[in-house]
Amino acid sequence: MTRLLYVQGVPIWRNVVALRWIVQIVSAVVVLSTIALFLLNVAREIEARDIPFGFTFVNRAAQIPIGEAVIPYQPSDSYWYGLVVAGLNTVRASVLGVILATAIGILVGVARLSPNWLLSRIALAYIEVFRNIPLIVQLLFWLTIVLTLPRVVEGYVIADAIFINNSGLFLPWFEAQAGFWPWALITAIGVALAVYAFRRLSRREIETGQPSYPLLAASVIAVGLSLVALLILGPLAIDIPQIEGRFGRLQGGAQLSGSFMALLVGLVIYTSAFIAEIVRAGIQSVGKGQTEAARSVGLSGMLTLRHVTFPQALRVIIPPLISQFLNLTKNSSLAAAIGYPDLVSVANTMTQIAPAISLFMIVMVSYLSMSLLYSLLGNLYNRMIRFKGA
């Protein structure tokens, strides 16, 4: 019998492979049974205490109001649809927030390194003030600022089409007409051409060292093509917001509500303070020798930044940047405090009449999938730079 415990003459308790397997199995048992114990306990208690739980409610009519929606929403729609609407609100805030925060973060980060003492000190103050105060406090502050704007009827009007007041920002927006899809196709082709031209010209710039304005050329191609097609096909009508009704509220166009503005400003400023520090550290991580070398081969300041400093800094910048994007998305869950109907806020309202625990599970899974998306982007990027570096 004892022979069974020997593998190739080595006793099993000294066999590395077997040991590893034993450790694995023990850890698996521990992990699995902990999880199972946890779930079973919870399930049993939920049953024992009659705590409402389950997901049958999602198809019932929600009968709750949602203040703003990207896609049309009625209170008679289902919970499921209501959560989608709320999720899209979260996505809207986080996508816009990510773009703006990155832009402002880069500006502030570069300003931080500016030779102008006042500018660099103000950038420093901006960073140190905004990243050291809890976001919830900042959001409430920005809401107060938005509320001090004039009300709709006394608000600022630009060119009879853009309205700025304490209900938010109202812009003319487009309505798709018959020729929309052909136009979209042409625009897409234009964008593809522009990308091609951008790469081509960039490469020439790198090879010759002469500025060949790739960004300018690319934007001319894309915008020009799209505009020409727009004039020929006429696919879009413009919907201008107008003041209507006895309460003088604005209807039509694109509306960015006051709460949304406050949320966006708060998220952008808070996150951009972190991004600025990341950008600063990234730029500083590029050795001084690199800049000097670029200068010595005759590259101008702008070209040095674009082709030497930035590409190298990006490797340092991108990974923490993506985790900031993730933070911004998660932080948008504070929107409830200032009246923006994001996922958490709407789920909170729904708990009035639907099982809270199920709702919060849905919310957690939604955030989780968003963050996995970010992780995916980060991994893709990492793979990309590794490939190039190899």
Site for another protein in 206-265 (CB under 8 A): 244-247, 249, 257-259
Number of Cβ within a 10 Å radius of residue 52: 11
360 binds another protein (CB under 8 A): yes
Number of Cβ within a 10 Å radius of residue 255: 18
CA-wise closest residue to 263 among 130, 105, 141: 141
144 binds another protein (CB under 8 A): yes
Q: How far is the CB of 263 from another protein (least distance, A)?
A: 12
348 binds another protein (CB under 8 A): yes
What is the distance between the alpha carbons of residues 377 and 371, in angstroms, rounded to a whole number? Answer: 10
**Beta carbon nearer to another protein, 299 or 363:** 363
Q: How far is the CB of 274 from another protein (least distance, A)?
A: 9
383 binds another protein (CB under 8 A): no
Helix (H) or strand (E) holding 198: helix 180-208
What is the distance between the alpha carbons of residues 280 and 106, in angstroms, rounded to a whole number? Answer: 8
Q: How far is CA 303 from CA 140, 250, 311, in A?
A: 42, 46, 11
Among 11, 14, 22, 224, binds another protein (CB under 8 A): 22
Q: Taking the CA of residue 239 as centre, how many other CA atoms within 13 Å lie in the half-sphere pointing to its CB? A: 12
Among 11, 99, 113, 151, binds another protein (CB under 8 A): 151
Contact 59, 79 (CB under 8 A): yes
Q: Which long-range contacts (CB under 8 A, 24 or more apart) does 360-363 make?
A: 362/55, 362/83
Q: Interface residues for another protein in 283-322 (CB under 8 A)?
A: none
Greatest CA span in the chain, whole angstroms? 94
**Beta carbon nearer to another protein, 17 or 293:** 17
SS3 12: helix
140 binds another protein (CB under 8 A): yes
Among 80, 96, 166, 211, binds another protein (CB under 8 A): 166
**Beta carbon nearer to another protein, 234 or 287:** 287
141 binds another protein (CB under 8 A): yes
End-to-end CA, the chain: 54
What is the distance between the alpha carbons of residues 333 and 343, in angstroms, rounded to a whole number? Answer: 7
Q: Interface residues for another protein in 97-116 (CB under 8 A)?
A: 115-116
Q: Interface residues for another protein in 64-103 (CB under 8 A)?
A: 64-67, 75-76
23 binds another protein (CB under 8 A): yes
Check residue 177 and give left, alpha or beta (phi > 0: left; psi -120 to 50: alpha). beta
**Beta carbon nearer to another protein, 143 or 264:** 143
**Beta carbon nearer to another protein, 144 or 177:** 144
Q: How far is the CB of 386 from another protein (least distance, A)?
A: 14
356 binds another protein (CB under 8 A): yes
Among 99, 206, 364, 384, binds another protein (CB under 8 A): 364
What single-letter DSSP state applies at residue 70? S
**Beta carbon nearer to another protein, 102 or 358:** 358
